[in-house]
């Protein structure tokens, strides 16, 4: 082990991990392994497969530690890795449709994003920040339209008038935004469904 100091932030522990600090890796493993196994078990309905999957994630984390480029919190990064790995397992079993359901995704965007009471139930600030970050990944025009219509509750006509565009353009841009956000946030949706 390289050292035995207490890490206080993601930045510190990730910096130590990038240098090959085994203590930093062990700290991450102890802090997150049980949470990730529990999360994977709830998606896969198989505790043993979940344990193997999460162990593999930590192996990959160590194998790539010198090149880590994590732009979100460490917790969110590990949950996203776990979700993606679970979906790979599900796809392999040809049962993805049992777990990723368009109706649930529509419920998320139509209810949780627009209902303050439901939004409070989000696990923590990491998830909210990921949602806002995902909105930032949309083209500027698309993002403005999405915020006005989905987050501020304006109609297609009201949004169109405010931005000086046609209602059809608003409809098309909302479709594009929803499609992109579903792909990017499907793992977040699963966390919310599983833990609330």
The string of pLDDT tens digits covering residues 109-155 is 555 455 444 444 555 556 666 777 778 888 899 989 988 888 788 89
**Tokens encoding 29:** 């493993």
Contacts of 186 (CB under 8 A, 6+ apart): 83, 87, 100, 105
Which fold would CATH assign to domain 100-195? Arc Repressor Mutant, subunit A (1.10.10)
Class of domain 10-97: mainly alpha
- Which of 9-18, 45-54, 111-120, 131-140 is least confident? 111-120
Closest CA to 39 of 123, 130, 108, 118: 123
Q: Is residue 51 very low, low, confident or very high in pLDDT (cuts 50, 70, 90)? A: very high
**Separation between Cα atoms, residue 148 and residue 75, nearest integer Å:** 30
Find the mean pLDDT for residues 38-59: 91
**Separation between Cα atoms, residue 187 and residue 75, nearest integer Å:** 13
The rounded mean pLDDT for the chain is 78
**Separation between Cα atoms, residue 54 and residue 33, nearest integer Å:** 7
**Separation between Cα atoms, residue 163 and residue 142, nearest integer Å:** 11
Look at residue 118 in the predicted model and tell me its pLDDT: 47
**Separation between Cα atoms, residue 74 and residue 115, nearest integer Å:** 27
Look at residue 137 in the predicted model and tell me its pLDDT: 81
Same-fold call for 10-97 versus 100-195: no
Look at residue 132 in the predicted model and tell me its pLDDT: 72
Find the mean pLDDT for residues 166-179: 88
pLDDT reading at 195 higher than 60: no
Residue pair 148/163 in contact by the 8 Å Cβ criterion: yes
Look at residue 192 in the predicted model and tell me its pLDDT: 57
User: What residues does each domain of the chain span?
Assistant: 10-97, 100-195
**Tokens encoding 94:** 């040809």
Buried b or exposed e, range 184-193, using 16+ CB within 10 angstroms = bbbbbbbbbb
Radius of gyration (C-alpha) of the chain in whole angstroms: 19
Look at residue 188 in the predicted model and tell me its pLDDT: 67
pLDDT reading at 193 higher than 90: no
């Amino acid at each position: 082990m390289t050292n035995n100091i207490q890490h206080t932030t993601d930045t510190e522990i990730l910096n130590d991990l990038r240098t090959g600090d085994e203590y930093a890796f062990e700290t991450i493993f102890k802090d997150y392994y049980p949470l990730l196994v529990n999360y994977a078990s709830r998606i896969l309905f198989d505790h043993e497969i979940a344990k193997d999957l999460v162990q593999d994630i930590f192996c990959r984390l160590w194998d790539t530690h010198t090149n880590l480029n994590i732009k979100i919190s460490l917790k969110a990064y590990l949950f996203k890795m776990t979700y993606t790995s679970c979906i790979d397992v599900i796809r392999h079993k040809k049962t993805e449709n049992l777990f990723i359901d368009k109706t649930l995704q529509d419920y998320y965007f139509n209810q949780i994003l627009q209902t303050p009471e439901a939004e409070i139930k989000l696990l923590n600030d990491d998830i909210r920040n990921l949602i806002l970050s995902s909105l930032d990944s949309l083209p500027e025009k698309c993002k403005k339209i999405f915020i006005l219509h989905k987050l501020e509750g304006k109609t297609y006509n009201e949004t169109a008038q405010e931005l000086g565009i046609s209602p059809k353009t608003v409809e098309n841009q909302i479709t594009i935004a929803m499609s992109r956000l579903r792909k990017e946030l499907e793992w977040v949706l699963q966390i919310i469904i599983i833990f609330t």
